[in-house]
A and B are shown apart, each in its own frame.
Chain A
Amino acid sequence: MASKSGITLMNSTSSRLRLARTFLRSFSKIKSQTSATTTLSPSSPHLKRQSRRIKMAAYSSMARVAGPRRAWARALLFKLHTRPTHRTLMNTRRGGSTTTPPSSRSDNQVGKLRRLLPGGDRMDVCTLLEETANYIHCLSTQVKVMKAISDHHF
């Protein structure tokens, strides 16, 4: 949907429905896998782990709904997929060999935006802005869905 229309944002209702469906599926899965008998004190490591997993599920559902043609979605899925094993290795390697792109150093804000957007360190400015627009749209939709779920539960 989003990739077909190019710059224009995706159809809001259908994307929201898909996002809600995808996220709820993974969310319910997470909830089913965690034990309900454990005490839920807010400082417990169990809760932290679960919140991290929910966050990951939220991001991955976002990326999946956005589709594989979005650069940020691809980068996000790749990051989430290869997170536990390769992350530290990649970080050290990248810090060692390749330097940061020159625009991120000279142009402070564009560099910030690059760091915020998943996969943004490899885009030119034009693509970066376009992907940012789509990313913001998806993120706000995700936030709405999550808010609705949490409001529904409380």
Chain B
Amino acid sequence: MEIKVGTVVGSSPIGRQSDDTGLESLQFCEEIQGLMTIPAENASSFTALLELPATQALELLHSPDSGGGATAAVVNDDSVQHCIKDVPKPYFSAFNCNLTFPTNSALIERAAKLSVLAEEHSPETTSSVPLNSSVNLEKVKNEPTTETDSNPNPLQTLISDPTVENTNQRSAKRKEREKKGKGSTKKSKNESNEDAEKLPYVHVRARRGQATDSHSLAERARREKINARMKLLQELVPGCNKISGTALVLDEIINHVQSLQRQVEFLSMRLAAVNPRVDFNIDSILAAENEPVLESSFPTMVTPLLWPEIPVSGTRQQYQPQWHFDGSVNQQAWARDEHNHHNFSTPENSLLSYDSSANSASLHSNQLKMEL
């Protein structure tokens, strides 16, 4: 109300001033400041004055607009009128509340506050009013911003550019908040869907003609992953590079796994028939595999595996600092394995009690037999 008073009171001198001196916006602003600071001190009298009916105030506002030929006055009145047009009549009381605020700043900021206030108070009506009317109100609210944007007057841009920007930003934020709060209108639903689509859209590319909803995007990502694995498998399985087609490749992989498993079975049969030499070691075995890397890197590994457990555990001790993680696993599984072996070998041990020396001797003889 104070501002209205300011504008109402100030509008007449502005009119005079514009008649006299023309367009001097800076002076105009200063004068209005001076006009506004004086009533702020005795604001109570102004409230008493301006408890007038709203229609009178509007008339007061409209009168200089109709008569004023000066551009500055018209501009200022326009900006205030936007605010007032937006606000329904019962909210004039809210402007009375505004009087108590200590407002000594420029008129521009006041106008901004007014417009913000007007737009801040209007959502209350939208919340109380059913949705259709609120949509109408939104439309109404949209109008002033577009008008001020499209207004080509340079003076108005000089005066009210920051305010317009502020109001635009704030109103935009408020609208977003409203839409989030409502969540029931179709617009907000559509927008949330678009947001959900935009997020994975960054990561997964959809070429032309491909579906872009989240399910098909995820499915496409999964298929790409599977394809990468299939390529890896193709490289791993010999003779699988030239085959095209997932089914054939899978067939080949299955065959390869089966053949490998059969090979393990066959080799275990063969190793069961073999009698181990006492002096075999890993070095000689691995040397047979065309892998020349090991001698330099693992000099401690050349220790021969003997029958008693002590050297074996000794190599393990040396081995452990290099493979900490594996060592712990090995020990667990080793204990398990020992358990298994004991389960299996109890009948044999009971039947054929032997000691290690006799065993090694007999092994030698057996080995001789086998080699013959």
Interface residues of A (CB under 8 A from B): 1, 7, 9, 13, 16-18, 20-22, 24-38, 40, 42, 47, 49-60, 63-65, 67-68, 77, 80-81, 84, 109-110, 112-113, 116-117, 125-126, 129-130, 132-133, 135-137, 139-140, 142-154
Contact = CB atoms under 8 A, between A and B. Distances in A.
B201 interface: no
B50 interface: no
Nearest to A135: B257
A35 B260 contact: no
B305 A126 contact: no
B103 interface: no
A113 to B, nearest CB: 6
17 contacts: A16-B289, A21-B319, A25-B305, A25-B312, A28-B276, A36-B275, A37-B352, A51-B269, A51-B273, A57-B337, A67-B329, A77-B336, A84-B343, A129-B233, A135-B257, A139-B260, A153-B275
Given A31-B276, A81-B340, A151-B288, A22 B268 contact: no
B264 A142 contact: yes
Interface stretch (B57-65, B147-155, B247-255): B247-255
A59 B263 CA distance: 12
Contacts of B267: 58, 143, 146-147, 150
Contact of A136 (B230, B260, B269, B341): B260
B274 A154 contact: yes
Q: Is chain A's binding surface mostly helix, strand, loop or mixed?
A: helix
Interface stretch (B4-12, B37-45, B278-286): B278-286
Contacts of A144: 289
A57 B326 CA distance: 17
B353 to A, nearest CB: 10
Contact of A146 (B236, B271, B343): B271
Contact of A129 (B230, B271, B272, B352): B230
Interface in B266-311: 267-277, 280, 282, 284-286, 288-289, 291, 293-294, 297-298, 301, 305, 307
Interface string B359-372: 10011001000000
B285 A148 contact: yes
A41 B289 CA distance: 30
B interface residue count range (under 10 / 10 to 19 / 20 to 34 / 35 or more): 35 or more
A18 B282 CA distance: 10
B282 A24 contact: yes
Interface string B215-259: 000000010011011101100110000000001001101101110
B320 interface: no
Contact of A149 (B256, B285, B326, B333): B285
Contact of A17 (B261, B273, B298, B343): B298
B329 A68 contact: yes
B194 interface: no
B268 A116 contact: no
Contact of A137 (B228, B236, B345): B236
A57 B319 CA distance: 20
B307 A55 contact: no
Contact of A36 (B288, B305, B329, B362): B362
A139 B271 contact: no
B312 to A, nearest CB: 6
A19 B329 CA distance: 13
Contacts of A113: 250, 253-254, 257
A133 B257 contact: no
B354 to A, nearest CB: 7
A151 B289 CA distance: 10
Nearest to B267: A146
Nearest to A46: B348
A13 B363 CA distance: 32
Kindly name the residue among B230, B265, B285 whose own CB sees the greatest number of chain A CB atoms within 10 A.
B285
A62 B219 CA distance: 34
Given A40-B273, A47-B272, A109-B251, A18 B264 contact: no
Given A116-B261, A126-B226, A47 B251 contact: no
A68 B225 CA distance: 24
A136 B256 contact: yes
Contact of A16 (B232, B271, B286, B340): B286
Given A47-B273, A52-B268, A81-B336, 8 more contacts: A16-B286, A33-B341, A34-B345, A51-B265, A51-B273, A64-B330, A146-B264, A152-B280
A84 B289 CA distance: 35
Given A129-B229, A129-B233, A150-B267, A51 B291 contact: no
B184 to A, nearest CB: 38
A20 B288 CA distance: 12
B344 interface: yes
